[in-house]
Amino acid sequence: MKYALIIPDGAADVPLEELGGRTPLEAAKIPNIAWIATNGRVGTVCNVPANMPAGSDVATMSLLGYDPTVYYTGRAPIEAAAQKLQVADDEWIFRCNFVTIIDGIMEDNSAGHISTEEARALIEQLNAAVAPPCVRFYPGVSYRHLMVVKGDFKVATTAPHDILSKPAADSLPTGTGSRLLRDITAAARKVLADSEINATRRDLGDNLATDIWLWGEGKMPTLPSFESRYGKTGRMITAVDLLRGLAGLIGWQCIEVAGATGYLDTNYAGKGAAAVAALDGCDLICVHVEAPDEAGHNADCKGKVAAIEQIDRHIVGPLLERLKAEGDDWRILVLPDHPTPCTIRTHTAEPVPFAIAGKRIESVMHGRFTEQDAAAGDLHIDRGCELMEYFLTVR
C-alpha cells in the first residue's frame, strides 16, 4: 500500500463577503480534491483537544496520529528538534518571532515576511549585543526563530498572530521568569532600531522588524517512532521547521525542495514532483503547504483561494495520477490542520473537513470538499489523533 497525506495548512474558513458568501474552499477550483471527495468519503475531524492552543503544533501532532495531551510540551521544542539543537535539561526553548509593533499595536506577526538572509543577520546581531550568558538565539526561516534560555520558568505567553491589531503590551509574558523575558525583549528592541537592515527595509517601504516576540515555550519532547506505532515508513515535505521537527521526532526523513518558502510564493510544482518521486522510497508521503495559513493571517481571501488551487493542481493532481497508476493499493487523504479564518486572522479550534479515497474507502454521501458538506456528512472524528489509524487500517 502507498499513502499520500496533503495538509493545506489553515485552509478551512468561514463564508466571506468578498467571495460572494462562500468560503475559500467553496470558491476554489479544485477538481482533483473534488474527485477524492466524490469517489471517497468526506467528514470532519477535530485536531485540537479542549483547552489546548489552536496552533499547527497541536493540530498537526494530532493528525499525524499522536495525542497532544500525552506528547505535547510546547511549539518551540518541536522546532528545536528540526534544527537538531543540543538543549540541556535545565534549559527552555522559546519561539522567537520578528514582528512589527507600531505605536504599541501588533501590526504584523512576520515583520513583512522578512527574508531568511536578513533575519539571520539580525539573529547574529542579537547574539552579539543582547544575549546574556544563559541565552542563545538560533536562526530559522523568515520570521520564525528560536531562543534557548537557562532558568526556572512558569510563564504565560501569547502567539503574536493571536493579537494582530491589538496592544502588544497586554500580552507580554507573565509569571515566573517573565522579567528576564521582558528584559531580553526590551534590549532586542534597541538593537533592531539601530540595525542597517531595518534602515534599508524602511527605505524600501517594507515592514520593519521592530521587536522580537517570545512564546511557545517548552522542553524537548520524546515521541515513539511512526513505524513502531503504525508499521509504516514516512517522509515529509515542508518549508517550515515546525513540521520538520515533528517529522524528525517520529522518525521521518524530510525532503527539501528548492524554492519552498512557507509562503504564497512557494514552489508548489516542485513539492508535487518531489512527493511523487518519494513514493518509491516509503509507505507514506506527507506534503505540508503553509500558504493558505499565511493568507488567512494576512486576511487575503483571494490569495487563499489561489493557494488552494495551486495545491490541487500541482500537488494533489500529480500524486493522485501516480497513485492510480499503482493499481488499487493506495489511499490519499487531504485536510487542513485547523481553520485560519480571514475575518479574524488567527487560528480556531473548530473541526476541519477531510477527504479520503482509495482502497476499501467506499463513498457514502457524494459531497464536496467544503466545510458545509463535511459537516453534513456521516463521518465525524472527535479525537484527531484517531484519524491516522483510520487512514492506514480501515477495512
pLDDT of 378: 86
Phi-psi region of 251 (alpha: psi -120 to 50; beta: other; left: phi over 0): left
Sign of CA dihedral 380, 65, 247, 154: positive
Residue in 299, 241, 289, 238 with CA at minimum distance from that of residue 264? 289
Share of the chain above pLDDT 90, in %: 93
Report CA 245 to chain centroid distance, whole Å: 11
Nearest to 55 by CA among 295, 288, 308, 349: 349
pLDDT higher than 90, residue 326: no
Mean pLDDT across 187-197: 96
Which residue type is seen at 154? Answer: K
Cα-only R_g, the chain: 21
Determine the Cα–Cα distance for residues 278 and 109; give it in Å rounded to an integer: 34
The answer to whether residues 4 and 323 touch, using CB atoms and an 8 Å cutoff, is: yes
Residue labelled with grid coordinates 480501515: 394
Q: Measure the CA–CA gap between 160 and 54, rounded to whole angstroms.
A: 13
Bridge partners for 3 per DSSP? 284, 331
Tell me what the mean pLDDT of segment 101-126 comes to.
96
Report pLDDT for 364: 75
The dihedral through the CA atoms of 193, 198, 204, 208 has a sign that is: negative
Strand order in the sheet with 352-358: 253-255, 234-237, 284-289, 2-8, 330-334, 352-358, 41-45, 379-381
Domains of the chain: 2-72+222-393 (3.40.720.10), 82-218 (no CATH)
Q: Are 287 and 271 in contact (CB under 8 A)?
A: yes
Which range, of 107-111, 277-281, 325-329, averages the lowest pLDDT? Answer: 325-329
Q: Which three cell numbers stand for residue 58?
A: 497541536
d(CA 48, CA 32): 27
pTM: 0.88
Q: Which sign, positive or negative, has the C-alpha torsion 120, 126, 127, 133?
A: negative
Measured between alpha carbons, how far is residue 155 from residues 88, 144, 215, 294 in Å?
A: 19, 20, 9, 27
338-347 confidence digits (pLDDT tens): 999 999 999 9
Q: Say yes or no to pLDDT of 124 above 80.
A: yes
230-276 pLDDT, tens digit per residue, is 999 999 999 999 999 999 999 999 999 999 999 999 999 999 999 99
Question: Looking at residue 363, what is its pLDDT?
Answer: 80
- Rounded Cα gap, residues 320 and 11, in angstroms: 20
Q: What is the pLDDT of residue 395?
A: 65
- Please, are residues 353 and 44 in contact by the beta-carbon 8 Å criterion? yes
Helix (H, G, I), strand (E, B) or coil at 56: helix
- In tens, the pLDDT along 138-177 reads 999 899 999 999 989 999 999 999 999 999 999 999 999 9
